[in-house]
């Protein structure tokens, strides 16, 4: 057995995993308008229970943190009850789940949440945003006061407790992809001059406080952190990337977190190598893949393990292949992603209707999935 053996067992905090393939969190917009998970979502996740670990899609810790229509939440009893149906279904199928906690910050709109979004500074998203009425111009967010920052930290901790009550094994704090924690890290969205802005030490403070509060609430062994160094999505310009993330990890490295999850990871990059060297615990790498063929996915995953990751998180491959683990083991072809059904569409199409090998000709993608393929895409996470 070598480090690049995707199918070798692994230990993650308090969990024994059957292999090293993790389902990455992917927003799919199939919740109720109020953020309650649906029975269709329970079916979707249960289909993918053969993943070593499922990190469920971003769930908001409070109402103002909502990003888009029909995303999940975890701040009301109805949300806990809905998620419990999901975790029960996955558990019955033999799976394990963490829940990603995400506050959108300026990535939000009153037409969606009923509230003006909040952010470290009143700097609007430089693009339109999808709402129940379609794309609309972004609004200038309200600047979080220091008291509101403390309240938001408390909301994350409460949401983490709710997640455990809903049957999750732990949570992932989302500090990536241009959402609130990432906005505090970044020089173009954080213009503050108080203890949460300016210097690298100050800019990492909020992400660190959220992670520390969650770990204090539910235990560090049940707490993960996701980052995506250098990611410019949602108009982000970090500045000092090579200083920011070592500073953040230095503050958190002694907590004993379950894992660090690096999105858009390149194991050959200087930043990845430095963070791997600085992080004493489990590291999950989410690679940028060259394609969605069996060979491309497996090669990308094995390259991530060879570069120092302990586990590999895959998004779109799991989206289109509920039995991805079996397909990669056998070298069987993968279903292509039907892009038109990814977000904002609702329903089972492109969600729970991807075929497994057992429901089609051996080792062959269904003709239905081929016809529905929407064309090339370069972001193959």
Is a pLDDT exceeding 50 seen at residue 293? yes
Tokens coding 272:
């990845």
Helix (H, G, I), strand (E, B) or coil at 352: coil
89 contacts 43 by C-beta, under 8 angstroms: yes
Return mean pLDDT, the chain: 93
User: What pLDDT is recorded for position 1?
Assistant: 34
Residue 287 C-beta-side C-alpha neighbours within 13 Å: 25
Confidence of residue 4 (pLDDT cuts 50, 70, 90): low
Kindly report the pTM of this predicted structure. Answer: 0.93
Label residue 344 left, alpha or beta by phi (over 0 means left) and psi (-120 to 50 means alpha).
Answer: left
Dihedral sign computed on CA atoms, order 44, 317, 284, 200: negative
Question: 82-117 pLDDT, tens per residue?
Answer: 999 999 999 999 999 999 999 999 999 999 999 999
Model pLDDT, residue 344: 85
Asked if pLDDT for residue 223 goes beyond 50, the answer is yes
User: What tokens does 86 get?
Assistant: 């999901």
Residue 359, pLDDT score: 56
155-183 pLDDT, tens digit each: 999 999 999 999 999 999 999 999 999 99
Q: Give the C-alpha distances (Å, rounded to integers) separating 334 from 126, 185, 227, 340, 349.
A: 36, 37, 28, 18, 17
In the predicted model, is pLDDT for residue 38 greater than 70? Answer: yes
d(CA 61, CA 49): 25
Q: What are the Cα distances from residue 280, in Å, to 55, 257, 365?
A: 21, 10, 41
């Amino acid at each position: 057995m070598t480090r690049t053996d995707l199918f070798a067992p692994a230990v993650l905090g308090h969990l024994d995993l059957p292999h090293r393939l993790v389902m990455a969190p992917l927003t799919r917009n199939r919740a109720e308008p109020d953020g309650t998970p649906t029975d269709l979502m329970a079916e979707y996740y249960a289909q993918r229970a053969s993943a070593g670990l499922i990190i469920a899609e971003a769930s908001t810790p409070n109402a103002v943190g909502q990003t888009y229509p029909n995303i999940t939440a975890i701040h009301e009893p109805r949300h806990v009850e809905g998620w419990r149906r999901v975790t029960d279904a996955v558990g019955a199928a033999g799976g394990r789940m963490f829940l990603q906690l995400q506050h959108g910050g300026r990535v939000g709109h009153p037409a969606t949440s009923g509230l003006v979004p909040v952010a470290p500074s009143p700097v609007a998203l430089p693009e339109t945003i999808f709402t129940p009425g379609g794309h609309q111009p972004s609004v200038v967010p309200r600047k979080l006061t220091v008291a509101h920052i403390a309240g938001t930290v408390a909301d994350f901790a409460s949401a983490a407790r709710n997640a455990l009550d809903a049957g999750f094994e732990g949570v992932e704090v989302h500090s990536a992809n241009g959402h609130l924690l990432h906005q505090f890290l970044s020089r173009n969205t954080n213009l503050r001059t108080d203890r949460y802005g300016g210097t690298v030490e100050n800019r990492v403070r909020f992400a660190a406080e959220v992670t520390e509060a969650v770990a204090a609430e539910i235990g560090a062994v049940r707490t993960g952190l996701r980052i995506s160094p250098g990611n410019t999505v949602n108009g982000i310009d970090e500045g000092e990337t090579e200083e920011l993330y070592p500073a953040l990890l230095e503050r958190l490295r002694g907590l004993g977190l379950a894992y660090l999850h690096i999105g858009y990871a390149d194991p050959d990059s200087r930043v990845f190598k430095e963070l791997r060297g600085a992080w004493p615990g489990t590291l999950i790498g989410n690679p940028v893949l060259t394609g969605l063929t069996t060979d491309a996915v497996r090669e990308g995953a094995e390259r991530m393990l060879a570069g120092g990751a302990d586990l590999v998180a895959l998004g779109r491959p799991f989206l289109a292949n509920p039995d991805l683990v079996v397909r990669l083991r056998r070298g069987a072809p993968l279903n292509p992603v039907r892009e038109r059904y990814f977000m904002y569409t609702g329903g089972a199409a492109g969600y729970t209707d991807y075929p497994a090998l057992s429901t089609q000709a051996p080792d062959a993608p269904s003709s239905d999935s081929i016809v529905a393929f929407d064309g090339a895409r370069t972001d193959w996470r």
